[in-house]
A and B are shown apart, each in its own frame.
Chain A
Amino acid sequence: MSIERLQTVLLILGMLFLYFVIMPEQVDQIKSSSIVPTTIPSIAIWIIIVAAGIQFFLSKESIEFNPILCLRAAVCISFIIACVVIMKRFGFEFGSPLLALGIMLGIGERRLHWLFLGSAVIPIGAWLIVEQVLGRILL
């Protein structure tokens, strides 16, 4: 099965799961009105299922799947989330330079003046403006 068809099947299964398992749990069932809380979610889910069904049979598109890029994206997202957790725990002024530095090093930046500007001046500048000048608390 091609990736195109696999993603379509997963989409249909996900929508069926949402409709039959999650929606009854998460949305109140009201029957006294012409439009109920489940109306729009049901319409949207069934539109997706029908369109995905058509796509499954008729689509000729091919999706390029690059596992290395996916792995890099996963590492990148994990690093960013970890930095946000650090910001939350220790403060924006500690987490944001780390986030910027990691991103810059990840891209391949090695020039010290750019690294200093990107990982120290900009995050600390943002922190100073928001917390010290605007008086708002950051993370």
Chain B
Amino acid sequence: MVDLSVILAGFTDALTLTNLLYVIAGVIIGQFVGAMPGIGPVMTMAIAVPFTFVLDPLPAIGFLIGINKGGLVGGAIPSILINTPGTPDAAATAIDGYPLSKKGKPLKALKMALYSSVTGDTFSDIVLITTAAPLAILALKMGPVEVFALMVFAFSLISGLIGDSITRGIIATAFGLLVATVGLDPEHSTPRFLFGFYELYDGFPLAAIAIGTLAVAEIIRRLVSMNGEIRPAVHFPKNQPSEDKCISFKEYWSCKFVLLRGALIGTGIGAVPGMGSTAAAFMSYASTKQSSKNPEKFGTGELRGIAATESANSSVAGADMMPLLTLGLPGSASSAMLIGAFLIQGIQPGPLLFGTQGVLVYGLFASMLMANLCNFTIGLFGLRIWAKLITAPESLIFSAALVFCVVGVYLATGGVFGVYVMFAFAVIGLLMSVLNYSIVVFIIAFFLAPRFELSLGQSMALLRGDPLRLIDHPVALVLLCMSIFSIYWLNVRKKSRPNNNMEKNMKPKEA
């Protein structure tokens, strides 16, 4: 077990003023970008990763976690006020949030979203803190063969769960592995696919790939499809009675089971790589509506609808860190960004992290709890400000984001070559999104590829090239069988598509 002194040291490190300021800055930026439709926390994290290079590991990761958590709260604001989700996971919030806002109670809807989001997030963080160390101890018992099989299983899940088509998911995964082979081969140190560019000896820079595919490609995609439309102005009704703009404890407490269900669904889904917070929000909403005595009220501004979606989508954030910290497997775009930040700091996430960097891990947990508190406080006072900022021109946001992308990649890669790589991958990212290949799957595979190659090499050495020796590794064998089964099952599930119409059927009703 982890020594209590390590836990206390971690919490002490996190409670320094410097760390607190970075977490606050991250939450403010996260809420702001979450509230701006089209920007989102993932793009912002991608842009911010190179800037964290100059920071110590804990403030750097705390800052990025602040952005991620802030984005989850911010995403609900435009969903509720203008029926345009700031982030995809807030789409379900619009179902009841927007009708409540149209009823003249926008602040009430926003506050319910904030309270539910912080409740769900804190729940999943507590689950993470209490279960991560035992899971890591379990993970440490795995040898290279088991790690390799686990990565194959993770790839099969991610390929199958993210995106619409399983073959496209597999192609995106394989493409990520292929791109990651550029540079020196880890086994023999011979160059691969350099094409005369000696800058590629260390492979494609992580920051350039992440920013190019996730941020620049998205900016260009939105730039070319813009039609100069100006978002509607947001006005809060004046002289409202307090029950129309506040959530009483009685109202909050009446949603306790809805919040708990949402948090449990979100935590469960977040722990599985590839599932994502959007699915959690819609599943929680559907199950709350199904179990309600008055399902007809849902879609007309029901507080329980907002509580269900926001508690679920926010609780994914904490649980998402479980596979990242215990196995080193990122399950979503935001955790892929975090793994990028860890790698930039020279830290390899995985079960060994609890032994070698225990203080950092517990500092990280403390930062997550601090981020929740900051999210609540900043959200409470900042809701009106973010609501005003929704109407800021996109031209300013996108041009500034592009300038920061160039600056960030230049600083991270130390030359203009990285900037050209970023634009090359922006074009690849654009093509992938036009052709419906998942960029998130590609990025996750790219980040995991070096470890995958290493564990394959070690496994081959241990098995002496004989696959029949896998019988001596039953856990690995089970994981490989599960990979094949999951590909088959997810393919069948995608073909039958039982849940596909769920999101389409859940349109907000006009109040």
Chain A residues close to B by CB (< 8 Å): 7, 11, 22, 26-28, 30, 33-37, 39-41, 43-45, 47-48, 51-52, 54-55, 58-59, 61, 63, 65, 69, 72-73, 76-77, 80-81, 84, 87-88, 92, 96, 99-101, 103-104, 106-109, 111, 114, 117-119, 122-123, 126, 130, 134, 136, 138-139
Query: Is B167 an interface residue, CB under 8 A from the partner?
Result: yes
Contacts of A54 in B (CB 8 A): 167
Q: Are A63 and B435 in contact (CB under 8 A)?
A: yes
A49 to B63, CA, bound (A): 41
* B50–chain A nearest beta-carbon distance, Å: 11
The segment out of B81-89, B93-101, B122-130, B182-190 that lies at the interface is B182-190
A35 to B171, CA, bound (A): 22
Chain B residues close to A by CB (< 8 Å): 54, 164-165, 167-168, 170-171, 173-175, 177-178, 181, 185, 187-188, 190-195, 220-221, 223-226, 228, 393-396, 398-400, 402-404, 406-407, 410-411, 416, 419-420, 423, 426-427, 430, 434-436, 449, 452-453, 456-457, 460-461, 464-465
| Nearest residue, chain B, Cβ from A129 | B407
Q: Are B395 and A37 in contact (CB under 8 A)?
A: no
Q: Are B399 and A22 in contact (CB under 8 A)?
A: no
Contacts of A35 in B (CB 8 A): 187, 453, 456-457, 460
Give the contacting residue for A118; candidates B164, B193, B395, B453; CB below 8 A: B395
Contacts of A37 in B (CB 8 A): 185, 187-188, 190, 192
Closest 8 CB pairs of A and B: A109-B395, A108-B228, A44-B178, A100-B399, A37-B185, A47-B174, A72-B224, A107-B395
Q: Are A73 and B177 in contact (CB under 8 A)?
A: no
Q: Are B224 and A52 in contact (CB under 8 A)?
A: no
Q: Are A47 and B170 in contact (CB under 8 A)?
A: yes
Q: Are A108 and B195 in contact (CB under 8 A)?
A: no
Give the contacting residue for B396; candidates A61, A109, A126; CB below 8 A: A109
A72 to B220, CA, bound (A): 9
Contact A107/B398 with A28-B188, A55-B171 known, Cβ cut-off 8 Å = yes
Q: Are A84 and B400 in contact (CB under 8 A)?
A: no
Give the contacting residue for A114; candidates B178, B190, B396; CB below 8 A: B396
A28 to B194, CA, bound (A): 11
**Residue from B396, B423, B453 whose CB has the most chain A CB atoms within 10 Å:** B396
Contacts of B411 in A (CB 8 A): 130, 136, 138
Q: Are B399 and A118 in contact (CB under 8 A)?
A: yes
Q: Are A55 and B167 in contact (CB under 8 A)?
A: yes
* B1–chain A nearest beta-carbon distance, Å: 37
A48 to B442, CA, bound (A): 13
* B464–chain A nearest beta-carbon distance, Å: 8
Q: Are A106 and B419 in contact (CB under 8 A)?
A: no
Contacts of A80 in B (CB 8 A): 220, 402, 423
Q: Are A27 and B192 in contact (CB under 8 A)?
A: yes
Contacts of B419 in A (CB 8 A): 84, 139
A43 to B434, CA, bound (A): 26
| Nearest residue, chain A, Cβ from B392 | A114
Q: List 20 A-B contacts (CB under 8 A).
A: A26-B195, A27-B185, A33-B187, A37-B187, A37-B188, A43-B177, A51-B167, A76-B223, A88-B416, A92-B407, A99-B406, A100-B399, A103-B395, A103-B402, A104-B396, A114-B396, A119-B399, A122-B400, A126-B407, A130-B411
Contacts of B393 in A (CB 8 A): 109, 111, 114
A109 to B178, CA, bound (A): 41
Q: Are B407 and A52 in contact (CB under 8 A)?
A: no
**Residue from B192, B193, B394, B406 whose CB has the most chain A CB atoms within 10 Å:** B406
* A139–chain B nearest beta-carbon distance, Å: 6
| Nearest residue, chain B, Cβ from A85 | B416
Contacts of B434 in A (CB 8 A): 63, 65
Q: Are A52 and B406 in contact (CB under 8 A)?
A: no
Give the contacting residue for A100; candidates B178, B192, B194, B403; CB below 8 A: B403
* B302–chain A nearest beta-carbon distance, Å: 35
* A123–chain B nearest beta-carbon distance, Å: 5
Q: Are A99 and B399 in contact (CB under 8 A)?
A: yes
A136 to B171, CA, bound (A): 40
Q: Are A126 and B403 in contact (CB under 8 A)?
A: yes
* A54–chain B nearest beta-carbon distance, Å: 5
Contact A104/B399 with A37-B187, A63-B434 known, Cβ cut-off 8 Å = yes
Contacts of A65 in B (CB 8 A): 434
* B173–chain A nearest beta-carbon distance, Å: 8
Q: Are A28 and B190 in contact (CB under 8 A)?
A: yes
Q: Are A41 and B435 in contact (CB under 8 A)?
A: no
A136 to B223, CA, bound (A): 30
A4 to B27, CA, bound (A): 41
Known: A40-B456, A43-B177, A103-B395. 6 other contacts (CB 8 A): A27-B193, A28-B188, A36-B188, A43-B174, A117-B396, A122-B400
Q: Are B430 and A73 in contact (CB under 8 A)?
A: yes
A55 to B177, CA, bound (A): 20
Q: Are A41 and B192 in contact (CB under 8 A)?
A: yes
Contact A51/B171 with A41-B181, A61-B165 known, Cβ cut-off 8 Å = yes
| Nearest residue, chain A, Cβ from B420 | A84
Q: Are B427 and A55 in contact (CB under 8 A)?
A: no
* B223–chain A nearest beta-carbon distance, Å: 6
Q: Are B436 and A100 in contact (CB under 8 A)?
A: no
Give the contacting residue for B402; candidates A81, A99, A109, A111; CB below 8 A: A99
Give the contacting residue for A48; candidates B178, B420, B427, B465; CB below 8 A: B178
Q: Are B449 and A48 in contact (CB under 8 A)?
A: no
Contacts of B436 in A (CB 8 A): 61, 63
Give the contacting residue for B395; candidates A47, A73, A87, A108; CB below 8 A: A108
Contact A77/B192 with A48-B178, A108-B226 known, Cβ cut-off 8 Å = no
Contacts of B406 in A (CB 8 A): 84, 87, 96, 99, 139
Q: Are A104 and B403 in contact (CB under 8 A)?
A: no
Q: Are B456 and A39 in contact (CB under 8 A)?
A: yes
